[in-house]
Amino acid sequence: MRTGWWWRGAGTALGYVLFVFLLSLARGTAFHPGYPTNLALVAVSALLAGFGLGPLAAMLRLPPIRRIAVLFGIVFVLLSASNAVEVALYLPAATVLGTLAGGLLQSLALSVLLGLFFRPADTDDRLGSALAIRSPLSWGWRVVVLGVLWVPVFLLCALADTPVVEAIEKSARTQTFTSPPMAVLVSSEFVRGLLHAAVFVVIVALLRRRWPVAWLWCAVSLALLNGWIPIITQTTLAPLIRVANGVEITLSSVIFGLLAAWLLAHRAAPAPDRHAG
C-alpha cells in the first residue's frame, strides 16, 4: 500500500510537470531565459499536490467522472477563484481574467491526474446523499458564518505576517504590495471565506468522518491549494516573502479548518448507508 501511494503521488507530479512543459512549448515560454528554474519550481509544487492531495482524492468514493468533477471544483475554487479575488485588489482586471483562465487549465489537469492515479476502494457514493446529512438551510447558514469568521482569521494571520514582509522589503529596498482600504479588504475576504466554506462543505460531506479528520483535510487542501502550490512558482516574489506568505496561509488554514470542520461536521445527522438502494 505504501509503495502504491509513492508511485501514484510521483505519477501525478510527473504528469502535471509534463502538462506544464507541453503548455509552455505551445506558448513559446519554454525557450525563455530561466525557464529550467521555473520548471523545477513547478515540479516542487506538483510533488506537493500529488503527495498532499492524493490521499484526499482516494477518499472521495465517487464514480470516476463525478470524482474528477468534484476534484476540479475543489482545486479550481481554492487554487484559482479564491486567489483571483485577492489578486483583484492589486492588479488590473485583465490580469485577473488571465489568472482565472490559467487556473482553469491547471485545475483541470491536476484534478484529472489526481482522479486517475488515486482511485478509492469503492465508488458507490453519491454527492447528493452525502450532503443529506444536513438540510440546505443548515449548510447555508454555516457557510455564511464561516465566511464571516474567515475575515478575522485572515486579518490576524496577515497582521502577524506583515512585520516580517516589511522587514524583508526594507532590507531589499522594494515594496511588493500596497494595502487597499479596509472596507474593500474585508468585503473581498468575506467572499473568499464563502468560497472556502463551500468547498469544505463538499469535503466534510464526502469524507463522512468525525471532525478531527475533516479538520486535517480542510486545512491541508486550503494550505496547499490556496498557499504553497501557487506561491512556490511565483518567481516575481522574493523567496523569503514566499516563505513568509506560505507560513501565514498555513496558520490561517489550520485555524479556519478547525472552525469549519467543527461547525460543519459537529452533530450532523448519521450518514445514509452508501449501499442502500
Residue 106 has pLDDT above 60, yes or no: yes
pTM attached to this predicted model: 0.88
pLDDT of residue 267: 66
Statement: residue 78 has pLDDT above 80? yes
- What's the pLDDT at 124? 82
- Give the residue ranges of DSSP H helices in the chain: 2-27, 35-58, 64-75, 82-87, 93-117, 127-131, 136-172, 182-207, 211-223, 229-232, 239-265
Residue 32 is placed in which grid cell?
525563455
Higher pLDDT, 166 or 261: 261
Residue in this structure with the C-alpha cell 509534463, named with its chain if needed? 18
Banded pLDDT at 276 (limits 50, 70, 90):
very low
At 170, the pLDDT band (50, 70, 90 cuts) reads low
Cell 485588489 -> residue: 89
Confidence of residue 212 (pLDDT cuts 50, 70, 90): confident
CB burial of residue 198 (10 Å; 0-12, 13-18, 19+):
middle
| Per-residue pLDDT tens over the stretch 19-70 | 999 988 888 887 888 888 889 999 999 999 999 999 999 999 999 999 999 9
